[in-house]
Homo-oligomer: A and B are copies of this chain.
Amino acid sequence: MLNLNFHPAGRHFLQIPGPSPVPDRLLRAMSYPTIDHRGPEFGALGLQVLAGIQRIFKTKHPVVIYPASGTGAWEAALANTLSPGDSVLMYETGHFATLWNKLATRLGLKPEFLGLPGIEGWRHGVQAPMIEERLKADRNHTIKAVCVVHNETSTGVTSDIAAVRRAIDAAKHPALLLVDTISGLACADYRHDEWGVDVTVSGSQKGLMLPPGISFNALSPKAIEASQSAKLPKAFWAWDEMLEMNRTGYFPYTPNTNLLYALAEAIEMIEAEGLEKVFTRHNRLAEACRRAVNAWGLEIQCADPAVYSPVLTGVVMPEGVDADNVRRIIYRCFNMSLGAGLGKVKGRMFRIGHLGECNDLALMATLSGCEMGLNMAGVKLRASGTAAAMVYLQSTAEPADRPH
């Protein structure tokens, strides 16, 4: 077969903002024998993961688990709640918001794309006042849904979803609130119920640390109600049969059993560490990463500290430096993958993922690789970023609770 053992000596550092490195524990869980998805053991597994994933989304309402990767869950959120020709208000935070917008168009919806002009939208979070203003102007309630991205994977900006909710409420507008937190879930704090989100879209291959192949729709009662009259055709993505079957832990069609094993294990890992501690860990590593970028004298893609992402950090290259060349050097010399600049910022920046099972020393390896690669690419660095990161990490380190 294709030799998949092709990496140079030693462990590859997969520091893209997802898929994140899959912990050995999850790989082992995936290797449990596939069982009959209509047999009694499966029901027990199903009930367990369905209950567990609710705790991760912080919701008491149903979460649909799709045996499909994340883009499918984008489609599912729209197809279940909307009808052909419906207007939706989307907000441009970056490349993935843009792709979701394109997908809505393909489904026959009429998305309106709000955002700050030019590249500015890609450096700031969702501007809730703009949404409020637009909804207030929509006197006839033509707009059926507001779609925003919580953690924009292409830029490293984590928008304030509660503010979007308040904006909709202030406008007294009945639009549904649909949120993509594909790369945010289990990295950045997320509160489906408290923030009044109607559909939250997420995936398996980021904070949950699974390989890609599973995606989610977390629902609200209002979303479920909307789904009963929504007219976009749907079958695979349809919530109704799914919710019906899920009651006993089963699925209306073949689920991807082995990834569900990994999901059960991932939820257990996260809850053993503590979900809030997982957020704290991500925040701390992200801060260390930003201190490194600042020390280097480089710009962070996210221009607003209030919405820095705990998941990834976008590093803007000085004028004249090809970010993809820097990535290539690091890839070939130091066996590390970094995220490319996408869409509007292609070649202008690269992205450092520090999510999932990342820890202090994995981050230091990552930053060391960046620092060496930047040097080798001829980028002038003001000071050592790794030194700055270490100062921060050692001053905030907490001893783990271990056997002795």
**Residues of A participating in the B interface, judged by any CB pair closer than 8 Å:** 1-2, 4-14, 16, 19, 21-25, 27-41, 43-45, 48, 66-72, 74-75, 79, 84, 103, 106-108, 203, 205, 211-213, 232-236, 238, 252-259, 261, 264-265, 267-269, 273, 278, 281, 329, 331-337, 340, 357-362, 364-366, 368-369, 371-372, 375-376, 384, 386-387, 390, 393-394, 397-400, 402-404
CB distance from A275 to the nearest CB of B (A): 12
CB distance from A225 to the nearest CB of B (A): 19
Given contacts A212-B256, A360-B369, contact A31 B27 (CB under 8 A): yes
CB distance from A100 to the nearest CB of B (A): 10
Determine which of B35, B259, B335 lies in contact with A213 in the assembled complex, contact meaning CB atoms within 8 Å: B259
- Rounded to whole angstroms, the CA-CA distance of A259 and B34 in the bound complex is 13
CB distance from A148 to the nearest CB of B (A): 19
- B35–A12 contact, CB under 8 A? yes
CB distance from A251 to the nearest CB of B (A): 9
- A8–B71 contact, CB under 8 A? no
CB distance from A358 to the nearest CB of B (A): 6
- B5–A34 contact, CB under 8 A? no
CB-based nearest B residue for A205:
B254
- B31–A30 contact, CB under 8 A? yes
- A30–B33 contact, CB under 8 A? no
- Rounded to whole angstroms, the CA-CA distance of A252 and B68 in the bound complex is 14
